[in-house]
Structure 1
Amino acid sequence: MPHYKLYYPDLNARGEPCRMMFALAGVEFEDFRMKVPTSTKDRNDASYLAEPKLEVDGIVMNRNVAILRKFAKEHKAPYLTFPVLEVDGVKIGQTLAIVRYLANEFGFAGPDNLTCAVADALCDQMADYVLANLGWHVVNKGFVDGGDVAELYEQYFVPARGRHLPFFEEALSKSSTGWFANTPDVTHADVFIAASIEWLQKLNPKCDSFFDGFPLLAAHHKKFFAHPKLQKHLAQRPEVDY
């Protein structure tokens, strides 16, 4: 059995789909969580304020970005981003590359290439949805200073939800099993979509209404988080900001 080590901040976000893949497969891995300040108290600490800010493409980012970039260089992260999965010394970057690798390794990629392609496409669509919220997210969580959070929510989050969630509702309407690729059990699409929605729900100030108008997606979310093989992980994972 290979030695797996996952590098990600002490958050769910993009790291959680990877952790869930290991949980569903019942495979042990080293969960290396980097500490980054998320609370106002932490961000007022003298050691945090001593960190320089980082400019990315002309935008001044907050100190967390600089801290993560330092971690990335220290741990030789491909593309200087996280998550990173290390497999017997080989480091793989990019969330979906990791999720797809684990799906193929652990048998969650579907029974054939066509099913796998359907699941891949759904993952890519969810990645597009997450990215569509970026203009609001970076201000909402303090990665970038300035901007009216409420206005950005209406500008980015609300239309993105209305534009993207119908695609997932339609996919589930064609499934007889309740899983996205119409498989007997989960594929990586179910994992990535459910974990990403959990992340977006935690960020959303109106999370109770997130599934309004999308009953099949709501049922899928409930079914996924009730999966027997996921319960130990859910019970033991730390409480985090998002």
Structure 2
Amino acid sequence: MVHYKFTYFAVRGKGEFIRQLFALAGVEFEDDRFSLGPLGRAVSRDMEKWGELKKTTHFGQLPVLKFDGKELAQANAIAKYLGAEFGFNGSNPYEAALLDSIGIHYDDLFKACRPFYLSWHQISEQPMEEAYKVAVEPGRDEFFPPISKFLQESKSGFIVGEKVSWIDLLVADHCETFTRYNSHYLDKYPEVKAHMEKVHSIPAIKKWIQTRPDTEI
């Protein structure tokens, strides 16, 4: 049996949807987390441990997945690999490519939200409310219209194809983060809100959410 070790910080961020992939597939994994303190830095012994690990990773970043003596970095690459292994990367090459295109589209949203994340981690002095208005909302309104169209055309309620995919988990977790912060985040995108609720009602995902370490972001 393959031993998977998934290393990321003790936040949801760019790691939670990958953890949910394991839960969805019913595959055990080592959930290796580095605690974060003020300024988004790993705390105490975790800082020293991360400093040593950082030198050995492909890009000096997390998340990292290790298995069978191999290492894979970058969240979407990890998710695509596991999605293909576990059956959540579309039903054919075209669907897999569509999922990949949405993942690239999502990267623009994640970058747009960066000022908010910096504010939350106390790296930036910009108030979170201001960062939300000037960064998150414009990013949201660029990202979600195409996603809404995918969902309007979907017969399954998932973004692409007839079954849940790694992209569904990624988008739903993003929505959870920002609807926690602002309950009106998805008011203009009812299809997306329904999608988040659908994904989070999948029994394996629902159980994971109920039992995981809870973090705001």
Q: TM-score, normalised by structure 2?
A: 0.90
Identity %: 28
Residue 228 (1) aligns with residue 203 (2):
yes
Task: Pick from 61, 76, 92 the counterpart of residue 112 of structure 1.
Answer: 92
Q: Distance in 2 between matches of 1:72 and 1:100?
A: 25
The offset of 1:148, in angstroms, is 4.1
Give CA deviations for 1:107-147 in whole Å, capped at 9, x if unaligned.
Answer: 11111100111111112212211211112321233123x23
Please give the root-mean-square deviation of Cα atoms over the aligned residues, in Å. 2.0
| Matched residue, 1:49 | none
| Matched residue, 2:76 | 96
The offset of 1:153, in angstroms, is 2.5
Q: Distance in 2 between matches of 1:153 and 1:166?
A: 19
Residue 147 (1) aligns with residue 126 (2):
yes
**Aligned partner letter, 1:201:** T
| Matched residue, 2:188 | 213
- 2:8 match: secondary structure: strand
Structure 2 alignment gaps of length 5 or more: none
Q: Distance in 2 between matches of 1:98 and 1:158?
A: 28
Residue 169 (1) aligns with residue 148 (2):
yes
Residue 15 (1) aligns with residue 28 (2):
no
Contact 2:102 2:167 in 1 (8 A): yes
Give CA deviations for 1:130-173 in whole Å, capped at 9, x if unaligned.
Answer: 211112321233123x2344333221112112222112111111
Q: Which is higher, the Rg of structure 1 or of structure 2?
A: 1
Distance 1:148 1:222, change over 3 A: closer
Contact 2:66 2:72 in 1 (8 A): yes
Distance 1:142 1:193, change over 3 A: same
The offset of 1:73, in angstroms, is 3.8
The offset of 1:95, in angstroms, is 0.6
| Matched residue, 1:181 | 160
Contact 1:139 1:147 in 2 (8 A): yes
Structure 1 alignment gaps of length 5 or more: 38-42, 44-61
**Aligned partner letter, 1:19:** R
Residue 193 (1) aligns with residue 171 (2):
yes
Contact 2:103 2:167 in 1 (8 A): yes
- 1:209 match: secondary structure: coil
Q: Distance in 2 between matches of 1:236 and 1:66?
A: 24
**Aligned partner letter, 1:166:** P
- 1:129 match: secondary structure: helix
| Matched residue, 1:57 | none
Give CA deviations for 1:201-226 in whole Å, capped at 9, x if unaligned.
Answer: 34x3xx21011021111111000000
